[in-house]
Amino acid sequence: MKRIGLVKDIVKEFELFYNKLTNTELAIMISVVLLESQHLAQIAKGVQRLMGAKNVRIKTVLDPSFVAGCLFKLRASRFRT
């Protein structure tokens, strides 16, 4: 395995550890377009209420194959809007 692969794995594990330590929920949002920061803040508040997390971090992924709406991945759950 190349060293760069090890670094990526270490960063990923650190992120998981940090999120657990700080009670931060990672929400992955797959959408056709990027949302504005005010919309992301509203979504983060909703995820906070839904998951009971102290903090929420949203990672956005663009997928042009979507016709409309978006898909959320929270822990092992998926929510389609």
Residue located via tokens 């504005």: 36
pLDDT digits (tens, 9 = 90+) for 19-34: 888 888 888 888 888 8
pLDDT tens across 44-69, in order?
A: 898 888 888 888 888 888 888 877 77
Residue 15 lies in a domain: no
Split at pLDDT 50, 70, 90, the class of 77 is low
Tell me whether residue 57 is in a domain: yes
Lookup result for tokens 């209420």: 49
pTM of the model: 0.67
Q: What is the pLDDT, as a whole number, of residue 54?
A: 86
Q: Regarding predicted confidence, which is higher, 46 or 77?
A: 46
9 inside domain:
no
Q: Smallest Cα–Cα separation from 73: which of 52, 53, 59, 55?
A: 59
Instruction: Note down the domain range covering 69.
Output: 25-80
Number of structural domains found in the chain: 1
